Amino acid sequence: MIRLTVMLLAIVACAAGPARAWIEPPELAAEVAQGRLPPIELRLPKTPLVVGDGGPGWTLGRHGGEMRMIFGRPQDVRMLVVYGYARLVGYDRQFNLTPDILESVDVKDERIFTLRLRAGHRWSDGEPFTTEDFRYWWEDVANNARTSPLGPPKVLLVDGKPPKVEFLDALTIRYSWDAPNPYFLPALAGPSPLYIYRPAHYLKRYHERYADLHKIREETRRAGVRNWAQLHNRLDNQYRNDNPDLPTLEPWVIQTRPPADRFVFRRNPYFHRVDSAGRQLPYIDRVVVSLAERGRPAGPRPDVQQLHVPAPGVAPQRFLRPSVEYRTRRPSRSLS
């Protein structure tokens, strides 16, 4: 069996032993003191993803601050999902696929993929992240004719056949195909990734199988949509990143409900990464996105600006090199 080891973004993984001292972001200290948030030891997974200094020329950061950005359109807030890059598996700087949200992945013959979650990992609202979130998506969304009229995503079909999906325990999922599917892991790692999980505890409120039908009809009427499936799908779009009520695993959580010309994102208190000194990531407390109109930004001068959005006196910045923005690479059999 080929094992995709936890390379942790080209850094050494540190075991999260009970004696480890994690560093609380000062931004959250008051909420912890008031009992509105649990302490950091209870918010992190038992084995968080430990991110080191990145090599020569890199230094560890410090908590705090606000990053101001300019985007051209309201829907561009989805780029925070690209920049935050929290994925089940992701690419490191050498374009190797490595576990990120997942603790580990076992791959056999490019046909059988066993995914292991991090014990104690939680959504941004503090609810547990478990295989129930994967089961809900597979059984109640991807294979439900009302929410997914076309069936599961094409990348999950091999020779026209869907995978066998098993939920082995609260932390382990297995995807199996009769023939190799070399595109499965790259799809999970993409800029607009394949999401094979959903925050089930939140979305069940809007699903006919779980929710009170009278309440769903009321919610549907208020939302101005035709049926529960339309309401469910409107609220369920992790990439679009426009629903402040939708729990997320991203580093920053949107606080502003559209329409707006200024969007505020706040740190996810349950984010699963720490640096090698024990500081919970991200370093930055808030991201404030202003929309540019007729070449003039709405708000103060930004720290960072999306490419192709003109603003007086501000040079556009690239977050990713254009040659690698959307590159994918087939996982190597040499990983062990």
Q: What burial class does residue 29 get, using C-beta atoms within 10 Å of its C-beta: 0-12 exposed, 13-18 middle, 19+ buried? A: middle
> For residue 336, is it within any domain?
no
Domain boundary among 235, 263, 297: 235
Both 191 and 206 in one domain: the answer is no
Both 205 and 278 in one domain: the answer is no
**By C-alpha distance, which of 260, 232, 259 is closest to 246?**
232
> For residue 225, is it within any domain?
yes
Both 208 and 190 in one domain: the answer is no
Q: How far is Cα 186 from Cα 215, in angstroms, rounded to an integer?
A: 39
Both 300 and 203 in one domain: the answer is no
Query: What domain count does the chain have?
Result: 2
> For residue 310, is it within any domain?
no
- The pairing of strands 172-176 and 112-117 is antiparallel
The per-residue pLDDT for 298 is 55
Rounded to the nearest 5 degrees, what angle is found at the Cα of 168, between the Cα atoms of 211 and 8? Answer: 100
> For residue 50, is it within any domain?
yes
In this prediction, the residues of the chain whose per-residue pLDDT falls under 70 are 1-19, 53-54, 293-336
Both 149 and 277 in one domain: the answer is yes
Residue-wise pLDDT for 254-285, tens only, equals 999 999 999 999 999 999 999 999 999 999 99
Domain assignment of residue 210, given as a range: 199-235
The per-residue pLDDT for 1 is 36
Residue-wise pLDDT for 46-101, tens only, equals 999 999 766 777 889 999 999 999 998 999 999 999 999 999 999 998 899 999 99
> For residue 327, is it within any domain?
no
Both 103 and 214 in one domain: the answer is no
Both 166 and 110 in one domain: the answer is yes
Per residue, what are the HEC states of the chain?
CEEECCCCCCCCCCCCCCCCCCECCHHHHHHHHCCCCCCHHHHCCCCCEEECCCCCCCCCCCCCCEEEEEECCHHHHHHHHHHHCCCCEEECCCCCEEECCEEEEEEECCCEEEEEECCCCECCCCCECCHHHHHHHHHHHHCCCCCCCCCCCHHHCECCECCEEEEEECCEEEEECCCCCCCHHHHHHCCCCCCCCCCHHHHHHHCCCCCCHHHHHHHHHHHCCCCHHHHHHHHCCCCCCCCCCCCCCCCEEECCCCCCCEEEEEECCCCCEEECCCEECCCCCEEEEEEEECCEECCCCCCEECCCCCECCECCCCCCCCCCCCCCCCCCCCCC
The per-residue pLDDT for 56 is 76
> For residue 81, is it within any domain?
yes
> For residue 151, is it within any domain?
yes
The per-residue pLDDT for 13 is 38
Both 80 and 222 in one domain: the answer is no
Both 86 and 204 in one domain: the answer is no
Both 68 and 212 in one domain: the answer is no
Both 160 and 292 in one domain: the answer is yes
> For residue 93, is it within any domain?
yes
Both 121 and 209 in one domain: the answer is no
CB atoms within 10 A of CB 332: 12
The per-residue pLDDT for 59 is 87
